[in-house]
Structure 1
């Protein structure tokens, strides 16, 4: 499952390229790939949008056009999970788009539906259009996530590929923070229009991106690929060797959907799907989407809405830290440490809530420790971004060669979105069955399983991905 080939262009670049020129070249590469970050800010804003929006609807359920929205508990769950139902369609759609239109044009095609999703949601007069807007946002989120990861891993230098791939996660985290920070100062429908600004900016700047060199190679556009690689790798790299390697690694296997039907590829898909499953069973997106709803039941000493906004900061900080750690410690240990920290936080939080609920009215000891829920949630948010949230989508692109990467990545991310949708939709039933402390303990135990899984996870740091 691991490639043993060290990319020739990397050897040449490291031996001969002056340090200053290398830093300037990589800075140019980072600046170019920041466009993907902007797209994920626009799409990622939809993930945390339900937290401020549902809180606002509790206080005032009127719409911009003068109607009212009345949501049941199940419909509130659907506000969060419907986006990931759309993401299921989006990731499958992305696999087709990546093969049909290429990486660059696929990104460009995502701009308009992203804008449309926010407009439909902000102008929705009833629940049908309200949910339609959420579904459309999900389709964009799933497509953007898949296409963005594929573009980044195919364009980046191998020794910084993990850091570059995390730009997508950083964009999502920034989108989350942006939404909750602005969301509690604006009505939910005005928040939609503010979030659409990022989508407009992304649509404009995608036109300066080059096509992925890997995609150009498998399309037979060798000279175009050499031109793009010269710009990305610099004048000291042996780009001919990199192109020959790409041609070799994609010559012996079938391309497209048929290329998925072999034992090795199916084994890799199963490994990535398991990684997604354990990541979501640890409470990752449930806590993100329903932060305010969950914290209302923990006895947190601050306003849950304020904690939701503050909790966005460690998510961004954790993603930035992961950018520097992912290529140093590798995917395996990033995931292991992330699960371990989250397990401790969730078990402490579950135990605290259980003991607080069982305490007598005269027992005021827990009022002295009312800071515990907020601290546990914030540390968990930080931990998730170090590996639980960031590693699965990265390896979903890195595990597969170029000629099947779009389709295989789509399958893996679709499975991930199915799991996210199920966990969000099952939040209320699981809460009723397990109770609040039981649910936190379930998340903690799932992360313990995640620690053991990470020990056996295949490493992709520094490996050629074809």
Structure 2
């Protein structure tokens, strides 16, 4: 809500704009225009640099998630791992990521956004080194646990940092880079893992956090966090770095201070408060979308893609894994473009229909192989189903649930609600990734048909429960949900 001072400031700016055509000294006007452009370019450059450094954490997230897909066969042979041991190795990352995500808010509020990213990088580097030097399951699992804890912190602090440093007009576009870089990291692991050993791939995983730590030396801390903890001088310096040395930051600084004061006045909601009748519907929507996102099978298929293609009849699984990796990035970009054109709800429906179809085709292909029918076509059908699945997931179900989650919760319950939703998401990721190998050994076609069934549930849930949030204010979204 605009204050009286904001209105006066706006009126004054309006009068200045009206007066500009009547200023005789055109040289001053040109000079001022060039100076403004230079300030804008300088501020955008620092925001872009800061974003580029932060999304190294997102790149690390994707690299860690994608690590198991191309390495399963070699790791199992070299370290003599059983199906249960590899299932634990693949899935333990989700347990530690869950812990990291739950504790990340407190960490980021205590040591700052940059401090949280640095701490996360230390955990990731330690984890990758443990995996690289592993001679057995214990060291392997320890390393995977450490990297998982690190990416759990990244999953919270990277989008928060980007949102807090970005100008309003750039915030939406810059925050979506987080999801793009996660997909890019996953694709890099898929592609590079087909040509290097699992130990070499672990060393490559060290690169993003190392780059992030170096980059942190050259970017400012979040001005909003500095204001929140009362470090006023550093707050002013950080905001000026991000907006330009000669930019007028007083209006934005006042707005940040006013927002912090208003937030401090709001009651702090706990988990039990989320079950109040006023909030139960957005909680159901947020939690339901995360359940649907995970139970469509994404982490099972993503973690073990190479073995799926081998089971389907491909000699090494590498060609399918490469195709999987190459599809993710461009389709994710298409989804980002469509997000504010078509809307959130339609993307979710298209995406869930596509994922449902993809896993149904894959399950049907495995059924044909089990019945010794259409053996010449079944492997192609299985691979096509997996690729349809990942393309459909990338265009909507990957990013949209997180965006809707940020839009549907009232401000004073976002902390508690966000923690609950993240916990449900990582818990679902663990269940699917841990059980996937056992399910495949039980029945390949049954596994994918089960995921297809959850796809149908997702379609029904989106139709019945999820509102369209595109172009609506927080108040309008709340009115829509509660109507």
TM-score by structure 1 length? 0.83
Taking a change above 3 Å as real, the CA distance of residues 74 and 371 of structure 1, as seen in their structure-2 partners, is same
> How big is the shift at 1:229?
5.1
Range that drifts further, 85-94 or 440-449: 440-449
Output aligned runs, 1:348-363, within 5 Å: 348-360=361-373
| Whole-Å separation in 1 of the counterparts to 2:401 and 2:220 | 26
Aligned match of 2:398 in 369, 386, 389? 389
Matched, 1:346 2:346: no
| Whole-Å separation in 2 of the counterparts to 1:109 and 1:97 | 9
SS in 2 for 1:426: helix
Tell me the equivalent position of 1:126.
Answer: 136
SS in 2 for 1:110: helix
Does the CA-based 8 Å contact 1:150-1:406 persist in structure 2? no
Tell me the equivalent position of 1:36.
Answer: 54
| Whole-Å separation in 1 of the counterparts to 2:467 and 2:168 | 17
Tell me the equivalent position of 2:385.
Answer: 376
| Whole-Å separation in 2 of the counterparts to 1:255 and 1:102 | 20
Matched, 1:167 2:185: no
> How big is the shift at 1:443?
1.5
> How big is the shift at 1:120?
0.8
> How big is the shift at 1:127?
1.3
State which structure, 1 or 2, has the greater radius of gyration over its C-alpha atoms: 2
| Whole-Å separation in 2 of the counterparts to 1:329 and 1:457 | 15
Tell me the equivalent position of 1:195.
Answer: 205
Does the CA-based 8 Å contact 1:120-1:130 persist in structure 2? yes
Taking a change above 3 Å as real, the CA distance of residues 372 and 174 of structure 1, as seen in their structure-2 partners, is same
Aligned match of 1:282 in 290, 296, 299? 296
Taking a change above 3 Å as real, the CA distance of residues 294 and 370 of structure 1, as seen in their structure-2 partners, is closer
Does the CA-based 8 Å contact 1:218-1:247 persist in structure 2? yes
| Whole-Å separation in 2 of the counterparts to 1:108 and 1:337 | 38
> How big is the shift at 1:182?
1.7
| Whole-Å separation in 2 of the counterparts to 1:283 and 1:331 | 21
> How big is the shift at 1:181?
1.7
| Whole-Å separation in 1 of the counterparts to 2:339 and 2:243 | 21
Taking a change above 3 Å as real, the CA distance of residues 240 and 89 of structure 1, as seen in their structure-2 partners, is closer
Does the CA-based 8 Å contact 1:162-1:461 persist in structure 2? no
Output aligned runs, 1:431-450, within 5 Å: 431-432=440-441, 435-450=443-458
- Higher relative contact order (Cα pairs below 8 Å, separated by 6+ residues): 1
Taking a change above 3 Å as real, the CA distance of residues 73 and 321 of structure 1, as seen in their structure-2 partners, is same
| Whole-Å separation in 1 of the counterparts to 2:473 and 2:262 | 9
Range that drifts further, 233-242 or 127-136: 233-242
Taking a change above 3 Å as real, the CA distance of residues 296 and 324 of structure 1, as seen in their structure-2 partners, is same
Tell me the equivalent position of 1:66.
Answer: none
| Whole-Å separation in 2 of the counterparts to 1:158 and 1:341 | 33
Taking a change above 3 Å as real, the CA distance of residues 226 and 272 of structure 1, as seen in their structure-2 partners, is farther
> How big is the shift at 1:57?
2.7
Aligned match of 2:225 in 215, 231, 234? 215
Tell me the equivalent position of 2:423.
Answer: 414
For 1:351-386, what per-residue CA distance to the aligned partner results, in whole angstroms no more than 9, with x for missing partners?
2332343245xxxx4414642222221222122122
Tell me the equivalent position of 2:376.
Answer: 367
Does the CA-based 8 Å contact 2:46-2:241 persist in structure 1? no
Does the CA-based 8 Å contact 1:339-1:450 persist in structure 2? yes
> How big is the shift at 1:190?
2.0
Which runs of 5 or more residues in structure 1 are unaligned?
62-68
Aligned match of 1:152 in 146, 162, 176? 162
For 1:332-356, what per-residue CA distance to the aligned partner results, in whole angstroms no more than 9, with x for missing partners?
3332221121112222222233234
Taking a change above 3 Å as real, the CA distance of residues 124 and 352 of structure 1, as seen in their structure-2 partners, is closer
> How big is the shift at 1:73?
1.0
Aligned match of 2:439 in 416, 430, 434? 430
Tell me the equivalent position of 1:49.
Answer: 67
> How big is the shift at 1:396?
4.2
Taking a change above 3 Å as real, the CA distance of residues 387 and 214 of structure 1, as seen in their structure-2 partners, is farther
Taking a change above 3 Å as real, the CA distance of residues 426 and 262 of structure 1, as seen in their structure-2 partners, is closer
TM-score by structure 2 length? 0.80
Aligned match of 1:239 in 245, 252, 259? 252
Output aligned runs, 1:32-111, within 5 Å: 32-58=50-76, 60-61=77-78, 69-111=79-121
Taking a change above 3 Å as real, the CA distance of residues 35 and 407 of structure 1, as seen in their structure-2 partners, is farther
Taking a change above 3 Å as real, the CA distance of residues 375 and 102 of structure 1, as seen in their structure-2 partners, is same
Which runs of 5 or more residues in structure 2 are unaligned?
18-32, 476-483
| Whole-Å separation in 1 of the counterparts to 2:280 and 2:106 | 19
> How big is the shift at 1:183?
1.6
| Whole-Å separation in 2 of the counterparts to 1:313 and 1:257 | 42
RMSD: 3.6
| Whole-Å separation in 1 of the counterparts to 2:440 and 2:311 | 11
Taking a change above 3 Å as real, the CA distance of residues 258 and 453 of structure 1, as seen in their structure-2 partners, is closer
> How big is the shift at 1:122?
0.5
> How big is the shift at 1:312?
0.8
> How big is the shift at 1:240?
5.4
